[in-house]
Amino acid sequence: MKTVSGLVAQGWSQGAMARAADGSAVRPESREAVAWCPLGAAAVVYKNDPVGYETWWFAIIKSLKTSIIGWADDPKQTHQAVVTLLREVERQLSAM
């Protein structure tokens, strides 16, 4: 089963929902996608589960107390910090 943290751990995108191997922006669900921002990864994982997506979204907001977009796209942000946060949110959601 795909997870948001798993997709972002595989490849992280800043400034676009997803990127192809050549760095170009692509749709998150594209077969060419090899890197995702957290929202792009969530769009893939929760494609047919709007309630799951909304639950994930509110858990992210609660954890960050700010916008995931600005936080994850901050040039000072690290791939590891993003993946760590996503894994923590997934642990919280699985405990619900």
Q: Which residue has the tokens 């992210």?
A: 60
User: Which residue range forms the structural domain that includes residue 18?
Assistant: 4-94
Of 94, 84, 41, nearest in space to 64 by CA: 84
Q: What is the mean pLDDT of the chain?
A: 95
Q: State the pLDDT at residue 1.
A: 74
Of 58, 8, 76, nearest in space to 38 by CA: 8
Q: Please name the amino acid found at residue 45.
A: V
Distance of alpha carbon 49 from its chain centroid, rounded? 15
Q: Residue 94 and residue 88: Cα distance in Å, rounded?
A: 10
For residue 96, name the pLDDT band (cuts at 50, 70, 90): confident
- Asked whether residue 80 carries a pLDDT value surpassing 90, the answer given is yes
For residue 67, name the pLDDT band (cuts at 50, 70, 90): confident
Residue pLDDT, tens place only, 6-41: 999 999 999 999 999 999 999 999 999 999 999 999
Q: Residue 20 and residue 10: Cα distance in Å, rounded?
A: 12
- Structurally, how many domains does the chain consist of? 1
